[in-house]
Amino acid sequence: MQKIKLDASDKKIAVFCDFDGTITIGDVVDILLEELADPQWKVIEKRWENGEIADCECMSEQISLIRGSWQDITKVLDRIDLDAHFKSFIEQCKKASMPVYIGSNGLDRVIDYFFAREGIKVNGVWAYGLIESSNGWSLEFRSNQPRGICQVPNSIVCKCELLESYPSGAERKNSYRIVIGDSRSDFCWVHKADFVFAKSKLAQYCAKNNINYASFTDFADISQSLFH
């Protein structure tokens, strides 16, 4: 992959990255649902795909169908790999003083588990709160994680607010924002990004909507573009 010339001038580059399917090999939430949830989750998924319910409602209903303990969940997670080049990408970002924020429509506790397992540290994780109680599993929206109203059809909650909130103040004005993603949950914030690395459905969306992007297969491609 050729090195990408970014029009960042004297701005500080900040990286905003999706998690499921972008950092992980496969969609973690879908894998958990396949392994541990009542099959009704697929009916709920279809309703979301048809635009009948918003993504937050879809996720909330699906997560409530998961059966088992946190230990059962981690047994599934331990069979899922991260992109083999993601950790080295994070290390390169740190050396280049590029903050990395994770913006996900996935589960915060799951993301934290993967990063602890792999010894990875990022500047922030923005995701749904996974809550365990005597009634099972549920979601909550963290009060310290702002969520904007999305303009993309079939979605009520999006990642757009993250780009407007981090970094803050003067740093925000002087930041060049790179978004990395793969799917429809990333359709909203690529419109606000200065540059996009995309694969799968997101690459198709960027091409169709004339959004400045580079396609990638794994994080080795992105590192090659940014650091070599």
Phi and psi based region of residue 28 (left: phi greater than 0; alpha: psi -120 to 50; beta: remaining)? alpha
- On the question of pLDDT at 159 being above 70, the answer is yes
The Cα–Cα gap between 196 and 194 comes to: 7
> Quick check: helix, strand or coil at residue 180?
strand
Beta bridge partners of 202: none
Per-residue tokens: 79: 């069979």
- pLDDT-derived band at 74 (thresholds 50, 70, 90) equals very high
Per-residue tokens: 74: 């981690």
The Cα–Cα gap between 104 and 8 comes to: 25
Q: What is the pTM of this model?
A: 0.89
Neighbours of 117 (CB within 10 A): 12
The Cα–Cα gap between 11 and 32 comes to: 40
Residue-range domain boundaries for the chain: 12-25+81-127+143-227
pLDDT tens per residue, range 177-201: 999 999 888 998 999 999 999 999 9
Per-residue tokens: 78: 């331990």
Amino acid symbol at 33: L
The label of the residue with tokens 């924002």 reads 177
Question: Which carries the bigger pLDDT value, residue 184 or residue 217?
Answer: 217
Amino acid symbol at 115: F
The Cα–Cα gap between 78 and 55 comes to: 26
Average pLDDT over residues 136-140: 90
- On the question of pLDDT at 171 being above 80, the answer is no
Asked if residue 36 lies in contact with residue 73, where contact means CB atoms within 8 angstroms, the answer is yes
Homologous superfamily assigned to 12-25+81-127+143-227: HAD superfamily/HAD-like (3.40.50.1000)
| Intra-chain end-to-end CA distance of the chain, in Å | 10
